[in-house]
Chains A and B, each alone.
Chain A
Amino acid sequence: MPIDDLTQVSVQLHLTVLAILVLALDLVIPRRGTWGLLWNKLPAGVATAGLLLGLYPVALLWGIGPRTEFSGCLAINNFVLFFQGIFLVVGALVILLSIDFFRNLRQGYNEYFSLIVFLVLGMTVLAAANDLVVLVVAFELVSIPSYVLAAYLRRDPKSNEAGLKYFLYGAAASAMMLYGLTIVYGLGGTTNLLALGEKLEAHVIAGGGLLAPLALVLMGVGLGYKIAMAPFHAWAPDVYEGAPTPVTTLLSVGPKAAGFAIVARVLWQLGQPLLGGWPMLVAILATLTMFTGNLLALRQTNMKRMLAYSSIAHAGYMLIAVVVGPNTEWAAQSLVFYIGAYVLMNVGAFAVAILVERNAGNALIASYDGLARSAPLAAAAMGIFLLSLTGIPGTVGFVGKFLLFGAAINSQTWWWLALVGIINSVISLYYYMNVVRVMYFSKARHLERIRWSAGVAAVICVTLAGTLALGIAPMPLLSITAHASYLAAYF
């Protein structure tokens, strides 16, 4: 193997070394005595800095052109690199949110950061997977750390239960996906995604059969579970509520974004030969996902559960771009733009939720009573994140939805998906604005004053700046995402 190949996977190599380094630091530094402070701070700091440093190899690989490396196992193109950049930023933001949250953890404080880095590693491989074997391994590398992270508060029954539910749903879903992938391998005779596209075309011309659609549906179960698509969303509210809130933040953006990267790449390459009518099937599921998420969010009294249903609804919006995707570059661009926007506003909303939860001791929406008076800055930030999640002009969420629905209308066939999306945005306004009402117009005042932590404050500043700046002047992200949508031309 030529040494040049190794530079092509420098992001993954960097993350592997980083995860092991964080684990080693935890072991080498004495926990007690004068070194205690270092033990407390260094691994988290190294993990954050290391994740952000990972953006450098991503930038180096950016724009060289689409190609496959390692005997065709990994696809490297701007679409994939954009996702990898997002995962690195998400990992760093989640670590900043976690430092204060897990401070009183008696065991496994630093292992937590190592697990986050392993999870980010899994996501960077999953987004780039161009081979069924790599896809399955990366899928498990994302899943297994997330099961552990969901159950990380060992003495909290809710967290245990979240871990168990996530594990049981996840193991069953990934086994079904694997069974589907073996059928795809059997039909195509190879595990390489690019080669499979051509081989499967030949199979369809030769007559096809029922096996191909069956394989697509089984794969859809596994991937649909990862992105919380209805009807495979049932785990999401329970897991989001029970898991420690920084982990919920990670699960709501990280594996979901990685899932979308691989859903888009698999469907755009293999969808047509496996089942000609897949866009209609996914369009129906997208509609179902949007309505399920938004209608069930209306009645929630727990902030984490409400955001769980909201994240299901957002998966529905993003599926619109997957449906329209293969025909236009516009749709590929709207998908990556929306995921970037969604990461900013959703991590921001969860950061405020973590702040309030740490002060109130619970995640009920009732704890937001009169927040505008006890913590005006936090309330204003939450308000802006919720407006952005609704899609109000002036926020990045609006630009994202504008691109998504625009792509659907532009395709002509799928104009009705834009209509469904707009109806759902109106429904979502009700439950998002309910939180604003509680914060600003409630007579009661649940919290007297708020104690901030540096990490949470930093994350809120970064995401708030991104949400507003890219909402008013979206050009920088637009031009980056325009380069990241080469995919449509490539395949």
Chain B
Amino acid sequence: MSQYLAVGLTHYLVVAALLFGMGLFAVITRNHAVAVLLGVELMLNAANINLMAFSRFRASAGMAALQGQAFALIVIALAACEAVVGLAIILVLYRNMATVNPDEADELKW
């Protein structure tokens, strides 16, 4: 295989960094709570790509390589838990205030 076709660690890290940046951008700019939650999911998946890439390319053989993969699986489970609780809170807020825009939920102000 010619050299410039080989996909290495850097490629994965760049993809993950782009994904993380897009997620962060969504979190900062979106004014819909579900869209913010989607942005957070993008950030978590960026972390997962990082974990998989590092465990494939960087870690020495054996235990250390598995750590990254187990870490990624656990992060997927945690992301699901967080989404469940988040959507439940968004739903309750919508019932009471008929909005899911964090900027419009402004009962609390200094």
Residues of A within 8 A of B (CB): 132-133, 136-137, 140, 143-144, 147-148, 151, 154-158, 160-165, 167-168, 171-172, 174-176, 178-179, 181-183, 185-186, 189-191, 237-238, 241-242, 296, 300, 305
With CB as the reference atom, state the residue of chain B lying closest to A139: B78
A175 in contact with B23 given A136-B74, A182-B51, A186-B50 (CB within 8 Å): yes
When the two chains form their complex, are residues A133 and B96 in contact, meaning their CB atoms are under 8 A apart?
no
Which of A154, A171, A179 is the one whose CB lies under 8 Å from B46?
A179
With CB as the reference atom, state the residue of chain A lying closest to B9: A186
When the two chains form their complex, are residues B96 and A185 in contact, meaning their CB atoms are under 8 A apart?
no
How far is A185 from B50 in the complex, measured between Cα atoms in Å? Answer: 9
With CB as the reference atom, state the residue of chain A lying closest to B60: A189
How far is A157 from B83 in the complex, measured between Cα atoms in Å? Answer: 21
Q: A132-B71, A160-B89, A179-B46 are in contact. List 14 more A-B contacts (CB 8 A).
A: A133-B71, A147-B85, A151-B89, A158-B108, A163-B92, A165-B108, A168-B33, A172-B43, A175-B23, A175-B44, A176-B24, A182-B50, A190-B59, A242-B107
A175 in contact with B47 given A164-B102, A182-B54 (CB within 8 Å): yes
How far is A160 from B93 in the complex, measured between Cα atoms in Å? Answer: 5
A242 in contact with B108 given A164-B33, A164-B93, A168-B36 (CB within 8 Å): yes
With CB as the reference atom, state the residue of chain B lying closest to A140: B78
A172 in contact with B40 given A147-B85, A151-B92, A305-B110 (CB within 8 Å): yes
When the two chains form their complex, are residues B67 and A191 in contact, meaning their CB atoms are under 8 A apart?
yes
Which residues of the partner chain A approach B102 to less than 8 Å between Cβ atoms?
A: 164-165, 168
Which residues of the partner chain A approach B51 to less than 8 Å between Cβ atoms?
A: 182, 185
Shortest Cβ distance from A214 into chain B, in angstroms?
A: 10
With CB as the reference atom, state the residue of chain B lying closest to A237: B110
When the two chains form their complex, are residues A167 and B96 in contact, meaning their CB atoms are under 8 A apart?
no
How far is A319 from B92 in the complex, measured between Cα atoms in Å? Answer: 36
Binary CB contact string for chain B from 33 to 63 against chain A (1 if under 8 A, 0 otherwise): 1001101100110110011011000111000
A164 in contact with B89 given A179-B43, A189-B64 (CB within 8 Å): yes
Which residues of the partner chain B approach A158 to less than 8 Å between Cβ atoms?
A: 107-108
With CB as the reference atom, state the residue of chain B lying closest to A183: B50
Shortest Cβ distance from B68 into chain A, in angstroms?
A: 6
How far is A356 from B36 in the complex, measured between Cα atoms in Å? Answer: 37
How far is A168 from B67 in the complex, measured between Cα atoms in Å? Answer: 29
A140 in contact with B82 given A171-B37, A172-B27 (CB within 8 Å): yes
Which residues of the partner chain A approach B43 to less than 8 Å between Cβ atoms?
A: 172, 175-176, 178-179
A296 in contact with B110 given A160-B93, A163-B89, A172-B27 (CB within 8 Å): yes
A133 in contact with B67 given A144-B82, A168-B33, A241-B108 (CB within 8 Å): yes
When the two chains form their complex, are residues B40 and A160 in contact, meaning their CB atoms are under 8 A apart?
no
Shortest Cβ distance from A159 into chain B, in angstroms?
A: 9
Which of B24, B39, B58, B74 is the one whose CB lies under 8 Å from A189?
B58
18 pairs of residues in contact across A and B, judged by CB atoms under 8 Å:
A133-B70, A137-B78, A140-B82, A144-B81, A147-B86, A156-B96, A157-B96, A157-B97, A161-B105, A165-B108, A168-B86, A176-B24, A178-B43, A178-B44, A181-B47, A183-B50, A241-B108, A296-B110
Shortest Cβ distance from B24 into chain A, in angstroms?
A: 8
Shortest Cβ distance from B21 into chain A, in angstroms?
A: 11
Q: Is B75 positioned at the interface, with any CB of A under 8 Å from its CB?
A: yes
Which residues of the partner chain A approach B97 to less than 8 Å between Cβ atoms?
A: 157, 160-161
Tell me which residues from 78 to 110 in chain B have a Cβ below 8 Å from any Cβ of chain A.
78, 81-82, 85-86, 88-90, 92-93, 96-97, 102, 105-108, 110
Which of B75, B86, B92, B106 is the one whose CB lies under 8 Å from A171?
B86
How far is A137 from B38 in the complex, measured between Cα atoms in Å? Answer: 20
Shortest Cβ distance from B10 into chain A, in angstroms?
A: 12
How far is A189 from B62 in the complex, measured between Cα atoms in Å? Answer: 11
With CB as the reference atom, state the residue of chain B lying closest to A305: B110
Which residues of the partner chain A approach B44 to less than 8 Å between Cβ atoms?
A: 175, 178
Shortest Cβ distance from B87 into chain A, in angstroms?
A: 10
Which of B59, B78, B93 is the one whose CB lies under 8 Å from A161?
B93
Binary CB contact string for chain B from 12 to 41 against chain A (1 if under 8 A, 0 otherwise): 000000001001100100000100110110
Q: What are the 7 A-B residue pairs with the smallest beta carbon separation, nearest first?
A: A186-B54, A175-B43, A182-B50, A238-B108, A160-B93, A171-B40, A161-B105
Which residues of the partner chain A approach B36 to less than 8 Å between Cβ atoms?
A: 168, 172
Shortest Cβ distance from B79 into chain A, in angstroms?
A: 9
With CB as the reference atom, state the residue of chain B lying closest to A157: B96
A154 in contact with B92 given A137-B78, A161-B105 (CB within 8 Å): yes
A167 in contact with B86 given A161-B105, A179-B43 (CB within 8 Å): yes
A186 in contact with B82 given A158-B108, A164-B33, A296-B110 (CB within 8 Å): no
How far is A163 from B47 in the complex, measured between Cα atoms in Å? Answer: 25
Shortest Cβ distance from B63 into chain A, in angstroms?
A: 8
Which residues of the partner chain B approach A157 to less than 8 Å between Cβ atoms?
A: 93, 96-97, 105, 107
Which of A133, A147, A179 is the one whose CB lies under 8 Å from B50?
A179
Which residues of the partner chain A approach B110 to less than 8 Å between Cβ atoms?
A: 237, 296, 300, 305
When the two chains form their complex, are residues A179 and B47 in contact, meaning their CB atoms are under 8 A apart?
yes
